[in-house]
Amino acid sequence: MIQEARAYREHGVFADRSSEERIEELETEVELLENRLEREQVKRSARVEVDDARFLERYLEDTYKTQSELLQEIVESGAMDDLIRKRIEDELYVMAGKGQVEYEPGWGWRLSTD
């Protein structure tokens, strides 16, 4: 169906009204399928398996890196954001709600002094 819609769009094969409606239907369906595919890819990329060799191979090279350098590069890449950052952020807001920590824009978080 996707190929059929693309052929219609590229070559303008049919000129009658029913064909135009079918083209629009197929283009809409193509768009929905592409959106669905994108969502699935985002879901898969959000599941980071840090102990997977394929994940680590993305950050290793022919030159040596210390473990600290490797960890810093992984964290800076954003690959760990969903795994770590969101959980920490959620917990900070829970703690702030309980009065355990305070947040000051431009400064960051700290333990409450109360």
Is pLDDT of 53 > 60?
yes
- What is the mean pLDDT of the segment spanning 48-63? 83
The CA distance from 75 to 59, in Å, is 11
- What is the mean pLDDT of the segment spanning 27-47? 78
Whole-structure pTM value: 0.43
Residue positions counted in the chain = 114
Is pLDDT of 88 > 70?
yes
Q: Binning pLDDT at 50, 70 and 90, where does residue 16 land?
A: low
Amino acid letter, residue 5: A
Q: Which residues contact 110 (CB under 8 A, 6 or more apart)?
A: 101, 102, 104
6: helix, coil or strand?
helix
Instruction: Please name the residue ranges forming H helices in 1-114.
Output: 2-11, 17-46, 53-57, 67-77, 86-97
Is pLDDT of 73 > 80?
yes
pLDDT top residue among 78 and 43: 78
